[in-house]
Amino acid sequence: MSETVFKNAKVYLDGFDISGQTNSVTLNQGVDLLDRTALSHTSRRRKPGLKDVSVSLSGFWDSTNTDKEMFSDIGTTGVVSIMPTSNAGAINSLSFFTANINGEYSPSGSIGDLYGFTFAGNGQGELARGLVFKNAALSTASPSTILNLGVVKSGIKDHFAIHVINDGTSTGANINIEVAASTDVLFGGSPSTLFSVNVTSANVGNAIYTSTNTPSTAHLYYRATVIQNSSQGRKLFCVASIGRNN
């Protein structure tokens, strides 16, 4: 048995890294249990219905980070990514992520205490579990590390989330992130393109979320390639994850 001390984790909300202001996070995934008990039964029978995802955060209020993001985004659809391991954010580290409706933001505090906040969101789709494959300033066409997501189960989709943190001084940056899958660990043959996402300076402080149709069950290996659409050296700092629902 291997326990995990929850420290050095990462939480990204709609293109903002709020890890330094957040001290508690709860991610819930469940399913509606529908009563299918008939007169002939002697105990309850249930059938799984729709899945549901929710996230709650709490921490320390900050006027330029948590408040700026959460106040303006109530009622909108966003993306939350939670990386719970001590190497959070590193390439190949664990990432949970989902599209969500930003539903509730409550700044609060008591006299003499640090002013705090709570935040709640509800899933706008499925929860994905996967790996971080980009956490860097993106400008060159070098492919990412090849990730092994394992065998695809029937009916499962690939999901992709990217938080665009900043563009430094590179206003006008414009790149494409192309994600491909292959049956070959060396990406030989003809890899299948899953996503091609355009990211520009206009996306800074926001996030992008997309998913595929059911992928080939033969796909094990994934990588991303950055294509520069503007002058070389114009960078976008992005944190991106790819994963699957259950």
Strand partners, 199: 175
pLDDT at 210: 86
Q: Is 70 among the domain residues?
A: yes
106 plus 167 within the same structural domain = no
Q: Is 144 among the domain residues?
A: yes
CA–CA gap between residue 124 and residue 245 (Å, rounded):
13
**Three-state DSSP state, 67:** helix
Q: Is 5 among the domain residues?
A: no
pLDDT at 169: 57
116 plus 140 within the same structural domain = no
Residue 194 belongs to domain with CATH number: 2.60.120.1110
Q: Please give the structure tokens belonging to residue 185.
A: 């660990």
pLDDT at 140: 62
Q: What is the DSSP string of 164-191?
A: EEE-TT-TT-EEEEEEEEESSTT--S-P
Q: Is 1 among the domain residues?
A: no
159 plus 208 within the same structural domain = yes
Q: Which residues contact 65 (CB under 8 A, 6 or more apart)?
A: 16, 18, 20, 21
Q: What number of other Cβ atoms are within 10 A of residue 24's Cβ?
A: 11
Amino acid at position 20, single letter: G
Q: Please give the structure tokens belonging to residue 204.
A: 């800074």
Tens place of pLDDT per residue across the chain (246 aa): 577 888 899 999 998 899 999 999 999 999 999 999 999 999 999 999 999 999 999 999 998 878 888 898 899 999 999 999 888 888 889 999 999 999 999 999 999 999 999 999 998 888 999 999 888 777 666 677 788 887 777 778 888 898 988 766 556 777 888 888 888 888 877 788 888 888 888 888 889 898 876 666 677 888 888 777 665 556 778 888 888 887
Choose one of 79, 106, 123: the last residue of a domain.
123
Q: Is 206 among the domain residues?
A: yes
CA–CA gap between residue 184 and residue 219 (Å, rounded):
8
Domain that holds residue 166: 132-244
Q: Please give the structure tokens belonging to residue 142.
A: 């070098």
Q: Is 97 among the domain residues?
A: yes
Q: Is 3 among the domain residues?
A: no
